[in-house]
Structure formats: structure tokens, C-alpha cells
Amino acid sequence: MATDPAGRAGEPTLDPAALYREEIYTDRKAGTLRVLVPVTRDGAPDPARPTVYSGEAQLLTNMGPMPISFDIDATNLSDAVAKYAEAAKVGVERALRELMELRRQASSSIVIPPSGALPPTGPLGGGGKIQMP
């Protein structure tokens, strides 16, 4: 799909054997349900490949809304709607773990200034701009 690094080298082209039609459903309250229906190169449904169901929601943070995407293991639209809440919970938990890991990495990183960036220190090192001859 779009994340394939081999496809980035040349001109962007669509793989006619991997086409999907996107359908979006929402109740305008909880979130969005995205359905990717596999299709042939002519646009007809492709029953040989599975339909992909994913959900989208927003997590409100002090920095503003953070979009959350998550897959839903479902076989049809009704099943996806029924499993939305549990999949959203798992998606939010995953996003929170990722945020905590990013915070941990940021707080434990050591910043080392480049050599020569610090002024000399000590009783004779000074550090001011006045030079004695």
C-alpha cells in the first residue's frame, strides 16, 4: 500500500490489484467508521480480498484534539459498529502508551553541547570578556 518504500523510488502509481473503495459512516457523536471495500480495476467488488474496517476518534488533550485511528476486527458493518467501542478503547490505550514512551524518551535524553561551546571555568579561567594583558 502507501507505506511500501519500494513504491516511493519512481513515479507514484496505483497498484490495480490492490484498489479499495472507501466508505465513511458516522453518528456525528462518537467518531467515524471507515470501511475499505476491495474492488477490481473496473470498480466492481472483489470478493477474493477481505473488507477492512477501521475506526477514528479524537482524544482531547491540553494541546488540543489528538486523532486516534484503530483497526476493527469485523466481518460486516453491523459487526464493526458493535465492536467500535472496544476497539476505540484499545486504540486510546495504545496512543496513551506511545505518548508516555515519547515523554520518557524526551525526559531521559541528555543534551551535550558541542565542544568549545562552554566558557572556561575555575579560579583563573574567568569567562568574562575582559582580557588582562
The full set of domain ranges for the chain reads: 20-104
Work out the average pLDDT over 74-79: 96
Asked if residue 66 has pLDDT above 80, the reply is yes
29: Cβ–Cβ under 8 A, 6 or more apart, which residues? Answer: none
Q: Compute CA 117 distance to the chain's CA centroid, rounded to the nearest angstrom.
A: 37
Give the Cα separation of 51 and 57 in Å (integer). Answer: 20
Mean pLDDT check: name the lowest of 30-44, 57-71, 105-119: 105-119
Q: What is the pLDDT of residue 64?
A: 87
